[in-house]
Structure 1
Amino acid sequence: MAEKLLQAPILDPQEIIKLIPQKPPFVMVDKLHDYTKLTGITGFLVPDDNILVDNGIFSEPGLIEHMAQSMSLHRGYQGYISGLEKPQTGFIGAIKSVEIFRLPKAGEELTTHVEILHEVMKVTLVTAKTLDKNEQVIATSEMKTVTVD
């Protein structure tokens, strides 16, 4: 079992923003529940006024971006505990697979589990699984992210 490196969940959205390169209105994570070297659990309460909410529904691009930002938050916390002054910038390099079983509504709380499968230089292969409040899987993905700085 991997060592948990997060003393207490980070539930303040203002603290989360310090850990990711994304800035409002393009922030799709607002909590870090758990962190180990290879895994993380993030959260996001989908606001009605989110830029990727349309007619009260969090869109497919929003859900994909949330999963990618969950990885970004994992990477950002890793940098923070390593002493980096600011989060590293990255992007989705490739999406191997995405399955969306349903789109969440504004006001729903999402919980996403990320796991690093492989890392070579600045390219990371990661899986993400997003659950609703009833712990039903609503989306999964496998993607490569690239860190650029």
Structure 2
Amino acid sequence: MINTEHITEYIPQRPPIVMISRLLEAGEKNIRTGFDIAADNVFVEDGLLQAPGLVENIAQTAAARIGYLAKKNNTPVPLGFIGAIQNLEVLELPAAGSSLETEIVIEHEVFNATVVHGAVRQEGRIMAQCDMKIFVSQSK
């Protein structure tokens, strides 16, 4: 497990936009992260993590997988870009002070494009889910 103090080695984002706290599991076709929602998070409004924060959490979980594989292969962590978000469902907004678990499952990978399904859960309940198309930059 990779904790907060080392998570930025796997993702290009930097505070205050870091939206994952822990890397829980990383495989070839999936990844799970944990996220502790701070009250002063830029995406918290009226004590609740807003939908853009949930989407960013899914995107950063996908980025952590790419970063994990890059570090495993001893290559630089590449930048990724969201190309499309489809089928977004926000079922519940989690409260500041709570923890989330996010899982990404790879649906398709072709060249530098990856299609993933992401789901954010709190205590087993789905908070949000979507399909996301991510493009990974091939340049340094």
Band the TM-score falls in, shorter-chain normalisation: over 0.9
Report what 2:74 is aligned to.
Answer: 83
Return the TM-score normalized by structure 1. 0.90
Q: In the alignment, which of 17, 32, 36 is matched to residue 45 of structure 1? A: 36
Aligned residue identity for 2:131: E
Report what 1:136 is aligned to.
Answer: 125
Deviation at 1:52, TM superposition (A): 0.9
Q: Which runs of 5+ in 1 are unaligned?
A: 1-8
Indicate yes or no: 2:105 matched with 1:115.
yes
Number of matched residues?
Answer: 138
Q: Please identify runs of 4+ aligned residues in structure 1 that moved more than 6 A.
A: none
Q: In the alignment, which of 55, 62, 70 is matched to residue 53 of structure 2? A: 62
Q: Which runs of 5+ in 2 are unaligned?
A: none
Percent identity between the aligned chains?
34
Q: Deviations over 1:27-86 (max 9, x none)?
A: 1011111111011111100111111111211011000010111100111101110101x3
Task: Tell me how far apart the structure 2 counterparts of residues 31 and 141 of structure 1 sit (CA, whole Å).
Answer: 21
Task: Tell me how far apart the structure 2 counterparts of residues 140 and 96 of structure 1 sit (CA, whole Å).
Answer: 10
Q: Secondary structure at the match of 1:61?
A: helix
Return the TM-score normalized by structure 2. 0.95
Task: Tell me how far apart the structure 1 counterparts of residues 27 and 70 of structure 2 sit (CA, whole Å).
Answer: 13
Report what 1:97 is aligned to.
Answer: 87
Report what 1:6 is aligned to.
Answer: none
Q: Deviations over 1:70-123 (max 9, x none)?
A: 100111101110101x32101110012111100011111000111111011111
Deviation at 1:14, TM superposition (A): 1.8
Q: Secondary structure at the match of 1:116?
A: strand
